Homo-oligomer: A and B are copies of this chain.
């Protein structure tokens, strides 16, 4: 069975595992106050050209999202997000469980449009009973998005301008940030992300590590007391250095970028092959997730050899599916998939 279900189906890249096993017998201070986490923070500051940025490690994406958002909002504020956003649709109400509403806007290819954000905020304050509605307090986006799309440098800059004009912190969920920056047509750098956002994550779990999300808080004003809130929400790992070590292993010699480019390259090979077979797509994704629409009998036959997820019923005979490549996908896996499709279609 060849696995295209997701990018978190296997453990960790061997250099990450080696880095962990190399720590055997060494003692560290607990709770993220160790030299590896410190080194990781220094590295992030260099990589982002943000000498005051703070770095924290959390074990998963939902935890990162709820901790960052809870730390930034007052009780009556909500977080603006696309209706397809992970926090709106796939986190079992984690944000609401911290007391805050997710204020959804219609997505534009998975993304938030600055004009939509501006309109929502303007309408809020224009309403004479504005105090009877949730105050927009911050903005959440993800890159890549849930649909595999990416923000261009221009788009992110435009969104950031609206957010700063409205005094709304902008938070970017980068669970797949590496894949985004390796995507076809990407013109963003990590420094751009740090410049335009007030906080963001650098995803590790889906990008070659065993587990972990690196939370970067750029604005010093937003950094205050963040560790208390990590602890309160259950996210303060006793052995925080495990994430520092994994982060360092992934960033060393840009292994993170290499693995991301590897996955996206295979996704582009797959996309190209599918297009040659005239297969239509749910969306035109430039990243490691591809969403082709396939005949149901083809899907049934494929599933004997390949694992992947069904996403959306298109009509009685067709379904949109997801093929996800990753740091551990092999070129021969993609070729096998294309060969099988060529036989079946």
Q: Which residues of A contact B (CB under 8 A)?
A: 1, 3, 5-6, 8-11, 14, 17, 20-21, 23-31, 58-67, 70-71, 74-76, 78, 89-94, 96-102, 129, 131-135, 205-206, 210-211, 225, 227-229, 231-239, 242, 307, 328
Contacts and interface: CB of A to CB of B under 8 A. Distances in A.
A63 B307 CA distance: 32
A239 B134 contact: no
B100 A238 contact: no
Contacts of A135: 92, 225, 228
A217 to B, nearest CB: 15
B92 A131 contact: yes
Given A92-B132, A100-B96, A235-B234, A14 B24 contact: yes
The interface residues of chain A, by DSSP majority, are classed as loop
Contacts of A27: 1, 3, 5, 9-10, 307
Given A31-B132, A205-B238, 20 more contacts: A1-B27, A5-B30, A9-B30, A11-B24, A11-B242, A14-B24, A59-B237, A62-B231, A67-B234, A75-B98, A76-B229, A76-B232, A90-B132, A90-B133, A91-B231, A92-B229, A94-B231, A94-B232, A96-B101, A96-B134
Given A59-B237, A205-B238, A131 B11 contact: no
Contacts of A211: 59, 237-239, 242
A133 B232 contact: no
A311 to B, nearest CB: 11
Contacts of A238: 8, 60-61, 205-206, 211
Number of copies: 4
A92 B228 contact: yes
A92 B27 CA distance: 25
Contacts of A24: 10-11, 14, 17
Nearest to A62: B234
A26 B11 CA distance: 8
A5 B70 CA distance: 32
A100 to B, nearest CB: 6
Nearest to A76: B228
Given A8-B239, A63-B234, A205-B239, A78 B93 contact: yes
B59 A30 contact: no
A84 to B, nearest CB: 13
A65 B233 CA distance: 11
6 contacts: A64-B234, A76-B93, A92-B229, A99-B99, A210-B242, A211-B238
A115 B11 CA distance: 43
A234 B234 contact: yes
A65 B234 CA distance: 9
A92 B10 contact: no
